[in-house]
A and B are shown apart, each in its own frame.
Chain A
Amino acid sequence: MADFRKRRKSEESGEISMTPMIDVVFQLLIYFVLTIRPVDVFAHLDVFSPSAKPQESETPPPPMIKIEIFPGGVLINGSGVDMTGLAKILGQLGALNPKQTVMILCSIDSRHRELVEVLDLCARSKLTNISVGSMN
């Protein structure tokens, strides 16, 4: 009898206990707030890799920029420069003719970061005709 009365009383109140739901919802909210990460914007640096097939007899224009990347140093057309110097030279060359070929040769022990830095400077100078090769 006492049980019946109790049940009846809770039914009469007509309210659902919201507390566990709110707890779970807060847990979910905290999880998503903590795990969300802003989307990274990627840059795609296109290069031509040397192919085994000979290209159609389309000779590249004679002025060619040759950049050699060594661990901790860069040579442009045979002369050593630092990154700011390289940026300046590439800026001038890109302003002259953005279609000229840039050949980048990396030594095998250079870091990928250095190659990306040089490619970034080429992209900044609007030079798009880039080939990447390696040297031993």
Chain B
Amino acid sequence: MAKRSTEEVGVNMTPMIDIVFQLIIFFVVTVELDRQAFDETIVLARSPHGPTVEKRDPRTVYVEVHEDGTISIARNRLSEARLVTVLTQARIAGRQDTPVHIRAHQSTRHEFVRRAMQAAGKAGLYRVSFVALKEKAPSN
């Protein structure tokens, strides 16, 4: 019996290849394509009790405030005046209740966050939210 099994050299690869293909299809489908839109260098502050938003408003403008105070939208650095222009255009394209989400680095001075808030105010957008990570236990 044992002799017979050692004689069979070829392993049937078909089930393994099937599973591997299934895994690849799973990863290809679930990979997030819009993740590149956000800057990964921004470390968000944590807010374990903050409300999550299930429905995303498609008009939402994400303003990113970096640790050094530079402001960007979708990885494009903007001056304050340009930010006001962009937000004003967003208000004209959407409505006054177009949401502005501020993604600020946790160590950013409030001075810089205030600039983004003021720009939203100047552009006439008042629905301002801060984005935080819904996680407990800060790692640093």
Question: Which chain A residues have a beta carbon within 8 Å of chain B's beta carbons?
Answer: 18, 22, 25-26, 28-29, 32-33, 35-36, 39-52, 69, 106-113, 115-117, 119-121, 123-124, 132, 134
Contacts and interface: CB of A to CB of B under 8 A. Distances in A.
Contacts of A29: 20, 23-24, 27
Contacts of B23: 29, 32
A33 B31 CA distance: 11
Contact of B107 (A22, A28, A112): A112
Contact of A110 (B21, B53, B109, B134): B109
Nearest to B40: A37
A24 to B, nearest CB: 10
A36 B24 CA distance: 12
A116 B30 contact: no
Grouping DSSP codes into helix (H, G, I), strand (E, B) and loop, the B interface class, with mixed when no group exceeds half, is mixed
Contact of A25 (B20, B44, B111): B20
A25 B17 CA distance: 9
A36 B31 CA distance: 7
A108 B114 contact: yes
Given A36-B27, A120-B49, A41 B135 contact: yes
Given A44-B51, A51-B121, A109-B109, 18 more contacts: A22-B13, A26-B20, A29-B27, A33-B27, A36-B27, A36-B31, A42-B44, A42-B131, A43-B51, A43-B52, A109-B110, A110-B109, A110-B110, A111-B108, A115-B110, A120-B48, A120-B132, A123-B47
